[in-house]
A and B are shown apart, each in its own frame.
Chain A
Amino acid sequence: MSEPILSIRGLTKTYKGGTRALDGVDLSINRGEIFALLGPNGAGKTTLIGAVCGLVRPTSGTMTAFGHDLSRDWRRARARIGLVPQELATDMFETVWRAVAYSQGLFGKPYDPARLGEILKSLSLWDKKDAQIRALSGGMKRRVLIAKALAHDPELLFLDEPTAGVDVELRKDMWQQIAALKERGVTIILTTHYIEEAEEMADRVGIIQGGRILMVDEKRAMMERLGTTEAVIDLAAPLAALPPEIAAFPVELADGGTRLIYRGGNGEGGGRADVAQLAQALTRAGVAFTSLDIHDSSLEDIFVGLLGGKEAA
């Protein structure tokens, strides 16, 4: 396996006043992947991004990007990192073109109008290149921030809540843009509140809470490992006890014996085959049922379950 593009070890950040935003974070990001960092408000997502990008001074720990130590050789590392912040922070009186050209120069790249044009066209901003940023819609401003972050062709791109506050159509458009960046070989780390977003795009998912990384895994593996299938079977007549034919299944009776609940399998549909066998076993046992409703757990269910379990612990 190739060396990680970003490696974080024992990263802590304690703000003045004692708030511990990061508490011994260890994280490795692979080249070319989309990594989604999920966590509730105040979990430490933005602080973690800020520490890597130079906005926040870590209290302790080490960070290496592209093999460069971020505390010593930060110039080389930062030249290859891009950041799209959560807030719509732009110079509102500047034109789109000048704002993006400024970013290109700021990161040490020569002025390249052809490349700027490509970026603006790819983000559907070409028609707005001479418009002042203040005249753009919220979604367009968000695109300008992405264009600014791409102006120096970063290999590692941080997107802090990239689709916060944008409508559904634009959000899906953004997903396409992000997928296109991945196609070009850009490694992407995104934080999001929309778990659907992580489910749609991420190769790997990390869950952070209270400044600690609770879990990092491939999305598919996480869903297989922690996902479940739930089936609700409405019975034609109430049962007093489970028949021996279905005793081996992870089922229980509910609602006075009128409903059978199955919880098992995994989040990738393994439980559905199990439910089909359960239905056959019920038929063999002579148990009639009137309806069957199956639901596979989503990444959101896993996320909520993990955080809920952690909070309860």
Chain B
Amino acid sequence: MMTFNWRSAFAIYRREMSRAFRTAFQSILSPVLTTSLYFVVFGTVIGARMEPIGGVPYGAFIIPGLLMLTLLGETTSNASFGIYMPRFTGTIYELLSAPVGVAETLTGFVGAAMTKGLILAAIILTTATFFVDYEIRYPVFAALYIMLVASSFALFGFILGIWADSFEKLGIIPLLILTPLTFLGGTFYSIRDLPAPWDDIALANPIAFLVSGLRYSFYGVADVPIAVSLGLTLGFLVACVAVIAIIFRTGWRLRE
């Protein structure tokens, strides 16, 4: 019979959260500072000279994209680091020898990464109010969508942390793939404003759908239908869960 060990899951979760607060500057303050700089430069200074996009002032328009930029990078990095470090230091032995399965492990590691992502999102949105005026049109949907994206990319980060066998590999995906794709995914512009054929080519970038989905929840405007954004994000989440289930079943990179 499948049982879920809440105490084990909570132990992992609490330790991961403790690690985040122990390294608060790197985990929380650093991304908030970086995002605030974007708001100052693009939102306030340059944004004041830009035309509204889709009826949304430019400073407010870039908020969902900047939020997505931080959310994707931080949840992925947190989850990947969380599982990679025990593998690197050898403390993974304790997790593997405990009465803990994939469900408890994911609840602990991914739950903590997701929580950190949500804390960051809340801080960034609060910080944004100091620089630009904005209102969220569908706040409940926005919160749920942020949670969905955070959990999906925490799962993705978990896979990354198991795949990586060096610190260099750990940093490659967030830095060299996620960040560029987010920049090119309509963070600072609407991809529908791109000249042909770049507007269609931009749709090959999956991050564009995420940015568009979050922007819809904020302002009711989107580059692609919201159902497509939601479906893609859910599909990504399911794919990550499936990959992790296979990893635990085969022991790949965990139990050789």
Measured between alpha carbons, how far is A95 from B256 in the docked complex, in Å? 30
Instruction: With both chains docked as a complex, state the minimum distance between the C-beta of B192 and any C-beta of chain A, in angstroms.
Output: 48
Q: Is B11 an interface residue (CB 8 A)?
A: yes
Measured between alpha carbons, how far is A15 from B15 in the docked complex, in Å? 33
Q: Is B33 an interface residue (CB 8 A)?
A: no
Closest residue on chain B to residue A90 by CB atoms: B91
Choose from B8, B12, B96, B99 the contact partner of A55 (Cβ within 8 Å).
B96
Determine if A15 and B7 form an interchain contact, defined as CB atoms under 8 angstroms apart. Answer: no
Choose from B22, B98, B101, B256 the contact partner of A106 (Cβ within 8 Å).
B98
Q: Is B18 an interface residue (CB 8 A)?
A: yes
Q: Is B55 an interface residue (CB 8 A)?
A: no
Q: Is A212 an interface residue (CB 8 A)?
A: no
Closest residue on chain A to residue B10 by CB atoms: A105
Determine if B97 and A15 form an interchain contact, defined as CB atoms under 8 angstroms apart. Answer: no
Q: Is B129 an interface residue (CB 8 A)?
A: no
Determine if B5 and A75 form an interchain contact, defined as CB atoms under 8 angstroms apart. Answer: yes
Q: Is A66 an interface residue (CB 8 A)?
A: no
Choose from A57, A74, A148 the contact partner of B99 (Cβ within 8 Å).
A74
Q: Is A178 an interface residue (CB 8 A)?
A: no
Choose from A76, A78, A104 the contact partner of B97 (Cβ within 8 Å).
A78
Instruction: With both chains docked as a complex, state the minimum distance between the C-beta of B31 and any C-beta of chain A, in angstroms.
Output: 21
Measured between alpha carbons, how far is A207 from B239 in the docked complex, in Å? 47
Interface band, chain B: 20 to 34
Determine if A108 and B97 form an interchain contact, defined as CB atoms under 8 angstroms apart. Answer: no
Contacts of B8 in A (CB 8 A): 105-108
Choose from B3, B11, B96, B256 the contact partner of A102 (Cβ within 8 Å).
B11
Q: Is A281 an interface residue (CB 8 A)?
A: no
Q: Is B25 an interface residue (CB 8 A)?
A: no
Beta-carbon contacts under 8 Å, A66-94 to B:
74-76, 78-79, 81, 83, 85, 87, 89-94
Determine if A78 and B90 form an interchain contact, defined as CB atoms under 8 angstroms apart. Answer: no
Measured between alpha carbons, how far is A78 from B256 in the docked complex, in Å? 18
Determine if B256 and A15 form an interchain contact, defined as CB atoms under 8 angstroms apart. Answer: yes
Contacts of B91 in A (CB 8 A): 89-91
Contacts of B173 in A (CB 8 A): none
Determine if B256 and A105 form an interchain contact, defined as CB atoms under 8 angstroms apart. Answer: no
Contacts of B95 in A (CB 8 A): 106
Q: A93-B22, A105-B8 are in contact. Are A75 and B90 (CB under 8 A)?
A: no
- From A15, A16, A107, name the one whose CB has the most chain B CB atoms within 10 angstroms: A107
Q: A89-B89, A102-B11 are in contact. Are A57 and B256 (CB under 8 A)?
A: yes
Determine if A76 and B18 form an interchain contact, defined as CB atoms under 8 angstroms apart. Answer: no
Closest residue on chain B to residue A88 by CB atoms: B90
Determine if B256 and A79 form an interchain contact, defined as CB atoms under 8 angstroms apart. Answer: no
Closest residue on chain B to residue A53 by CB atoms: B97
Determine if A148 and B256 form an interchain contact, defined as CB atoms under 8 angstroms apart. Answer: no
Q: Is B93 an interface residue (CB 8 A)?
A: yes
Instruction: With both chains docked as a complex, state the minimum distance between the C-beta of A148 and any C-beta of chain B, in angstroms.
Output: 7
Choose from A78, A83, A98, A106 the contact partner of B18 (Cβ within 8 Å).
A98
Measured between alpha carbons, how far is A50 from B96 in the docked complex, in Å? 10
Determine if B7 and A103 form an interchain contact, defined as CB atoms under 8 angstroms apart. Answer: no
Contacts of A93 in B (CB 8 A): 22
Beta-carbon contacts under 8 Å, B1-37 to A:
3, 5, 7-8, 10-12, 14-15, 18, 22
Q: Is B251 an interface residue (CB 8 A)?
A: yes
Beta-carbon contacts under 8 Å, B76-132 to A:
89-91, 93-101
Closest residue on chain B to residue A83 by CB atoms: B97
Contacts of B101 in A (CB 8 A): 75
Measured between alpha carbons, how far is A55 from B101 in the docked complex, in Å? 13
Determine if B10 and A108 form an interchain contact, defined as CB atoms under 8 angstroms apart. Answer: no
Contacts of B7 in A (CB 8 A): 105, 108-110
Beta-carbon contacts under 8 Å, A110-126 to B:
110
Contacts of A104 in B (CB 8 A): 11
Contacts of A103 in B (CB 8 A): 94
Q: Is A56 an interface residue (CB 8 A)?
A: yes
Contacts of B90 in A (CB 8 A): 85, 87, 89
Determine if A55 and B18 form an interchain contact, defined as CB atoms under 8 angstroms apart. Answer: no
Measured between alpha carbons, how far is A94 from B96 in the docked complex, in Å? 20
Determine if A102 and B97 form an interchain contact, defined as CB atoms under 8 angstroms apart. Answer: no
Q: Provide the A288-307 mask, 1 if CB < 8 A to any CB of B, else 0.
A: 00000000000000000000
Q: Is A54 an interface residue (CB 8 A)?
A: yes
Q: Can you name 5 A-B pairs with beta carbons within 8 Å?
A: A57-B255, A89-B90, A105-B11, A110-B7, A148-B94
8 closest residue pairs by CB, A with B: A105-B11, A89-B90, A53-B97, A75-B99, A78-B99, A79-B99, A106-B11, A57-B251
Point out residues on B near A: beta carbons under 8 Å.
3, 5, 7-8, 10-12, 14-15, 18, 22, 89-91, 93-101, 251, 255-256
Not counting A93-B22, A108-B7, a sample of 14 additional A-B residue pairs whose C-beta atoms are within 8 angstroms of each other reads A15-B256, A53-B97, A55-B93, A57-B251, A75-B101, A90-B91, A91-B15, A94-B15, A98-B15, A98-B18, A102-B11, A107-B8, A108-B5, A109-B7
Point out residues on A near B: beta carbons under 8 Å.
15-16, 53-57, 74-76, 78-79, 81, 83, 85, 87, 89-94, 98, 102-110, 148
